[in-house]
Amino acid sequence: MRNIVLVGFMGTGKTSVAKALADKLNIRYISTDDIIEKKEGAKIKNIFAEKGEGYFRKAEKEVILAVSSEEGAVIDAGGGAVIDPENVKNFKKNGILICLWAEPEIIFERTKLCAKRPLLEGPKPDETIRRLLSERKKFYERADHHINTSKLLLADVVSEIENIVKNA
């Protein structure tokens, strides 16, 4: 079985959906962010603050290369993983790439109380969300399938992905 790789901006539901999907399909759940945190011995927020985004992206790339060789897993990729075309290429070698997305207002509501979002620290996180979504749109378009999670329940997103996988 090919991997099911979930990508998309923060706050679109990747982690919740990936865990629920893996549980429903009785397959492994893999979080690239969790692996990075274990390897680095630090939270993503601290890696960004202490070593910078460039360092984080390099660590992320190494992890993606490793997990892309897995089979039959649901992979929860970080929000910026698709910026690097090599990451996309590696994910697609043995996986179906599904992008979850949501309206900027919904993302803001879902993330505003979360302290572990280093890219949203600053005076106007809602504007940062819009800017980053705009900058990353072309990268998210590389996914094989797209699901707008703005108004869907978790179970609906999981069902939609199941249908995609069955018909792939």
The average confidence (pLDDT) of the chain is: 92
The first and second tokens of residue 47, run together, are: 């890696």
pLDDT in tens, 1-16: 899 999 999 899 999 9
Contact 147, 161 (CB under 8 A): yes
In the predicted model, what is the mean pLDDT of residues 119-144?
A: 87
The first and second tokens of residue 60, run together, are: 């992320």
Residue 36, pLDDT above cutoff 70: yes
In the predicted model, what is the mean pLDDT of residues 116-136?
A: 80
Please report the pLDDT score of residue 113 as a whole number. 66
Please report the pLDDT score of residue 100 as a whole number. 97
Q: Which fold has domain 3-166?
A: Rossmann fold (3.40.50)
In the predicted model, what is the mean pLDDT of residues 23-49?
A: 95
Residue 57 dihedral angles phi and psi, to the nearest 5°: -65, -35
Domain residue extents for the chain: 3-166
Please report the pLDDT score of residue 64 as a whole number. 98
Please report the pLDDT score of residue 120 as a whole number. 65
Q: Is the dihedral of CA 100, 103, 104, 108 positive or negative?
A: negative
pLDDT in tens, 60-113: 999 999 999 999 999 999 888 999 999 999 999 999 999 999 999 999 888 876
Pairing mode of beta strands 28-31, 95-101:
unpaired
Residue 115, pLDDT above cutoff 60: no
Q: Is the dihedral of CA 71, 78, 26, 21 positive or negative?
A: negative
- Is the pTM higher than 0.85? The answer reads yes
Residue 119, pLDDT above cutoff 70: no
Please report the pLDDT score of residue 123 as a whole number. 75
Q: How confident is the model at residue 126 (pLDDT cuts 50, 70, 90)?
A: confident
